[in-house]
Amino acid sequence: MYELSPPAVYVHESVQADPRYRARVERVVAATSNAPPVRVYRDDDLPGMIRDEGLLAGRVPMGTLEPIPDPALVFNTYRFDGRREERLTWLKEACGELSGDQLHLGLLGYGPFCWWTEKDLGKRICRPCWRVHFQNGCLHKCRYCGFGGVLVSMVNVEDYLDQFARLIERNGWQETFLLEDDADVLPLEPELGCMGPIVEFFGTQPGRYLVLHTKSWNVDWMRDLRHNGNTILVWSLSGRTQADELEPVAGSMAQRLQAARKAQEWGYTVRYKFKPIIPVRSWRQDAAEAVEMLFRMTRPDVISLCVYMWMDVHEMTRRIGREVLDPALLAAAEAAVEQMADERVKPFPDDVRAEIYEHYFREIRRHDADVPVSISTESPPMWRRLGGMLGAEPGSYVCGCGPNSTPWRRTLPCNAFQAAAGGPVGGFEAM
């Protein structure tokens, strides 16, 4: 487990009442430094914890904090009682307007399985699928990220897996399931003791795969798990400068690759996302070094690329600073503010993003002529621009975590958007 010193530890009464759950929390707390006394809370305490005690005050862009503190830890259990929307409405009314529904669902014990589709497919390309959750928050303190301040983790993995089995049974079209895009689930293991059972559960599911997306070096506990080749580890890989200066607690570039090499030796499928690619001053050299090293150390089945996006240039520089960025590309982003105002892929204009993607693609092809390369959450115009180079199109490309991106698949057997037509099937509702 990572070293951390949480400012507070909260345990829901449902955790405290079960010896199995309580033991998981006790192991995590015992592994921390100077942890304060554990506080047991009830749902009715949440409004006061949020309004009066500032539980969520640290959930801000981490680059705006100095120093960046460790998050408070909250342990809860998932509930499967059909009251998801009712309880979320109650919390919003009790606290005033809240943002980030997934975090607040976690505080209430809801949100393990959510049907997700890109809100505006005319702006970005990403596949509809079931997304699955177990935590919300992160220990990595990446300066551009807003997932600090509090880390909510569930502990009732047995109940969770019973429901997960139902989800898989009723949605036979979905072959791969990404566990968490709101957290990195490796850092609290093996003390938490929840990811091992999930990996081994998927080891019993023929033709179904668990996808774990991580920046972590913490994999030694995974060595002897009975995964049966059904867990895919996707490393979010960054060049040396970005990793060292902007992602201070995540594994360094070399540590991530060393962890990936171990995982591959243990039979896990390994793939990479260069996401987000932040064009620091040395981004070209850093890209070449990272790509050379990843192929020297591992054999990935897929590589995905995604330039830093999701916000305007002012917010980007507020989070990470101007001094680390390539001056020419920063100037291009600042000159394109009006042009990119309504774009989901801002702040960098199309020409800049294409230049970055083309550089990475050339470096990848210097080492491997065949590995599928895709662009992640990108715009339709960018796909039209780069699809020929990539040898793929939005409906058939294999990506890092899409619902049908099974190990070593080179192209999808059918259009990804047709496979999920009509949304969730089998009567299974978001929980």
Taking the CA atoms of the chain, what radius of gyration do you get in angstroms? Answer: 21
Residue 281 has which token pair?
A: 């001053």
Residues 6+ apart with CB under 8 A from 359: 284, 287
What is the predicted pLDDT for the residue at 357?
Answer: 98
pLDDT reading at 428 higher than 80: no
- What is the DSSP secondary-structure string of 101-137? HHHHHHHHT--SEEEE--S-TTT-----EEEE-SEEB
Q: Taking the model in full, what pTM does it have?
A: 0.95
Amino acid of residue 319: R
What is the predicted pLDDT for the residue at 422?
Answer: 53
- Positive or negative: CA dihedral 182, 196, 273, 323: positive
Q: How confident is the model at residue 123 (pLDDT cuts 50, 70, 90)?
A: confident
> What is the rounded end-to-end Cα distance, in angstroms, of the chain?
29
Residue 386 has which token pair?
A: 């780069």
What is the predicted pLDDT for the residue at 420?
Answer: 60
Lowest pLDDT segment from 53-67, 328-342, 409-423: 409-423
pLDDT reading at 258 higher than 70: yes
Q: How confident is the model at residue 431 (pLDDT cuts 50, 70, 90)?
A: confident
Query: What 3-state DSSP class applies to 278?
Result: coil
Distance between CA 367 and CA 271 in Å, rounded? 15
Residue 351 has which token pair?
A: 């020409």
Higher pLDDT, 118 or 271: 271
pLDDT reading at 353 higher than 90: yes
Q: How confident is the model at residue 116 (pLDDT cuts 50, 70, 90)?
A: confident
Residues 6+ apart with CB under 8 A from 72: 6, 7, 8, 9, 10, 55, 58, 149, 150, 151
pLDDT in tens, 205-257: 999 999 999 999 999 999 999 999 999 999 999 999 999 999 989 999 999 99
What is the predicted pLDDT for the residue at 421?
Answer: 56
pLDDT in tens, 260-288: 999 999 999 999 999 999 999 999 999 99
What is the predicted pLDDT for the residue at 34?
Answer: 86
Q: Say if residues 77 and 12 touch (Cβ distance below 8 Å).
A: yes
pLDDT reading at 426 higher than 60: no
- When the candidates are 3.10.20.30, 3.30.565.10, 3.80.30.30, 3.20.130.10, the CATH number that belongs to 9-419 is 3.80.30.30
% of the chain with per-residue pLDDT over 70: 95
Q: How is the chain split into domains, by residue range?
A: 9-419
Mean residue pLDDT of the chain comes to 94
pLDDT reading at 199 higher than 90: yes
Higher pLDDT, 52 or 156: 156
Amino acid of residue 145: C
Residue 315 has which token pair?
A: 């917010």
pLDDT reading at 36 higher than 70: yes
